[in-house]
């Protein structure tokens, strides 16, 4: 079973008035659609995936919605992935709506450098590069776990920490989840994200070898079907960190905030191509 990383940026437009008169006739700046690319590669994944869209002009007169709700994936692109002297073409999968290839056909390795090239009719070719973090993420230490009565339901929680690797220049992301099956007649499961107290996106700049502490929010024991929790601790590259940080800082629905540009490392396009290296820790739940 593949456990993927646990992206949506938003766009806002601020309207201005001047001298008590509404300006109704303005020639908006011309905007050429660009390729939008999103891909995170990891040695731990069994499938390499790339999402491709076409950007939407800002002054189009159409209210913004998320890419999933408004912009269909681009299905006629050519997607090339290169690294370690090898190059492969990813094919479009209608079920996942991504360009994919089995990871066994193109090995992603810690410390490996990779290039992504995307071409599509009537759009400018885009390229991007990333390096998968070479280090193994630090081990997670479980410091406490147990059950608690939470609003008259039996719930489970845990506390854990990890110590930053020696030397600055490390970026991390932390996630927790469990699998839930609400239908005893099928094997279909759902990955439930678990909330927790602690930093999810971390840089060790000026904080080398710090210890980061976490505490999960109580989760109903009935939601833990298979009696275990996954903790995902990933070393991520700078591209991933800057992109996620810019998305988290974006306040498109706040008319009084300064606009926050969304980071992109896609040359001549938009989006992100990043590498991560993940350590999964399985924690058994005792009822």
Kindly report the CATH number assigned to the domain that includes residue 152.
2.60.40
Give residue 186's pLDDT.
81
Task: Judge whether 269 lies within some domain.
Answer: yes
Give residue 7's pLDDT.
34
- 77 & 119 share domain: yes
Give residue 85's pLDDT.
93
CA distances from 133 to 54, 113, 126, 224, 282 (A): 29, 10, 23, 32, 22
**Nearest CA to 38 among 248, 235, 244?**
244
Q: What is the rounded CA–CA span in Å between residue 58 and residue 138?
A: 42
Give residue 250's pLDDT.
73
Task: Judge whether 282 lies within some domain.
Answer: no
pLDDT in tens, the chain (287 residues): 444 544 333 223 222 333 444 445 555 556 789 999 999 999 999 999 999 999 876 555 544 444 444 578 999 999 999 999 999 999 999 999 999 999 999 999 999 999 999 999 999 999 999 999 999 999 999 999 999 998 888 999 999 999 999 998 999 999 999 988 888 788 788 888 999 999 999 999 999 999 999 999 999 999 999 999 999 999 999 999 999 999 888 755 555 556 668 899 999 999 999 999 999 999 999 88
Token representation of residue 173: 């992301």
In terms of Cβ atoms closer than 10 Å to its own Cβ (0-12, 13-18, 19+), residue 176 is buried
Token representation of residue 217: 């929010």
- 96 & 161 share domain: no
- 39 & 123 share domain: yes
Task: Judge whether 3 lies within some domain.
Answer: no
- 192 & 225 share domain: yes
Task: Judge whether 18 lies within some domain.
Answer: no
- 127 & 243 share domain: yes
**Domain span at 175:** 141-234
Give the CA count within 13 Å in the CB-facing half-sphere of 10. 12
- 46 & 125 share domain: yes
Per residue in 215-228, is it b (16+ CB within 10 Å) or e — as a string? ebebbeeebbeeee
- 157 & 198 share domain: yes
Task: Judge whether 155 lies within some domain.
Answer: yes
Give residue 121's pLDDT.
96
Give residue 57's pLDDT.
65
Token representation of residue 279: 């350590």
Name the domain count of the chain: 2
């Amino acid at each position: 079973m593949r456990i993927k990383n646990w992206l949506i940026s938003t766009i806002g437009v601020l309207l201005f008035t001047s001298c008590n008169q509404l300006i109704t006739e303005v020639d908006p700046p011309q905007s050429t659609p660009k390729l939008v690319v999103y891909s995170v590669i990891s040695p731990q994944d069994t499938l390499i995936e790339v999402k491709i869209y076409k950007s939407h002009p800002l002054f189009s007169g159409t209210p913004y919605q998320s890419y999933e709700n408004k912009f269909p994936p681009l299905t006629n692109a050519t997607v090339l992935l290169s690294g370690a002297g090898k190059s492969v073409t990813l094919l479009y999968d209608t079920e996942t709506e991504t360009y994919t290839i089995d990871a066994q056909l193109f090995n992603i390795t810690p410390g490996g450098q990779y290039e992504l090239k995307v071409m599509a009719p009537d759009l400018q070719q885009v390229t991007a590069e990333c390096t998968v973090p070479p280090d193994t993420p630090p081990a997670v230490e479980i410091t406490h776990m147990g059950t608690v009565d939470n609003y008259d339901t039996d719930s489970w929680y845990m506390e854990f920490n990890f110590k930053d690797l020696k030397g600055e220049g490390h970026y991390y992301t932390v996630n927790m989840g469990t699998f839930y099956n609400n239908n005893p007649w099928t094997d279909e499961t759902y990955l439930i994200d678990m909330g927790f107290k602690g930093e999810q996106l971390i840089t060790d700049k000026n904080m080398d070898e710090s210890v980061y502490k976490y505490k999960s929010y109580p989760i109903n024991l009935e939601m833990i079907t298979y009696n275990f929790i996954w903790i995902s601790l990933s070393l991520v590259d700078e591209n991933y960190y800057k992109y996620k940080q810019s998305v988290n800082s974006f306040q498109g629905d706040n008319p009084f905030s300064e606009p926050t540009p969304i980071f992109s490392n896609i040359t001549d396009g938009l989006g992100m191509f990043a590498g991560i290296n993940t350590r999964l820790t399985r924690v058994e739940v005792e009822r």
